[in-house]
Amino acid sequence: MCSLLLLSTVAAATPALAQEADHYTAVSNTAMSVTGDIWLDDFSITFENDESLNFSALVADHFQVGGRNVPASVYRVKNPADPELQNGNQLCGNGDVTYVANWALSDGMSAIAVFTGKRAPKGDDEMCALYTYQDPE
């Protein structure tokens, strides 16, 4: 009975739609204050407050970061939005998010960048916000 109660408590603490996605722990100050931890897969990103953005397509598998071409996943957001997240902060704060890019950094870290443009972004110079997370273990 006690383990069943513990299991249901853990399940309730995890965003409902994200239980099958990879859990990334917020590391940067912006990630901790805006998104909190996230759950990400090829279909959506879910934020700590249970808000989410669904993806309609993977539009690129490479991306320019600091002028270098890196392996990345660039997703088109199905229904563009700028959700209100932690502490009343918005994901972008500068319009509806239309694309989300994810790429690996060094030392087991990942970056998530968000974009508001109509065309798929080619590089990080077009982003409206950048968040850093510890990779899933």
DSSP for 58-124, written as a single string: EEEEEEEETTEEEEEEEEEEEEEE--B-GGG-BSSSSS-EEEEEEEE-STTEEEEEEE--SSPP-BG
Q: How far apart are CA 134 and CA 56, in angstroms?
A: 25
Q: How far apart are CA 26 and CA 31, in angstroms?
A: 5
Q: Kindly report, residue by residue over 70-126, the tens digit of the pLDDT.
A: 999 999 999 999 999 999 999 999 899 999 999 999 889 999 999 999 999 999 999
Compute the Cα dihedral for 12, 21, 39, 28 and give only its sign: positive
pLDDT exceeds 80 at position 2: no
- Residue 128 phi/psi, 5° resolution? -100, -15
The pLDDT of residue 121: 96
| Residue 115 belongs to domain spanning | 2-134
The pLDDT of residue 18: 47
Map residue 9 onto helix, strand or coil. helix
User: Which two three-digit tokens encode residue 69?
Assistant: 């071409």
In the chain, the number of structural domains is 1
Average confidence (pLDDT) over 32-44: 97
pLDDT exceeds 80 at position 9: no
Higher pLDDT, 14 or 129: 129
The pLDDT of residue 19: 57
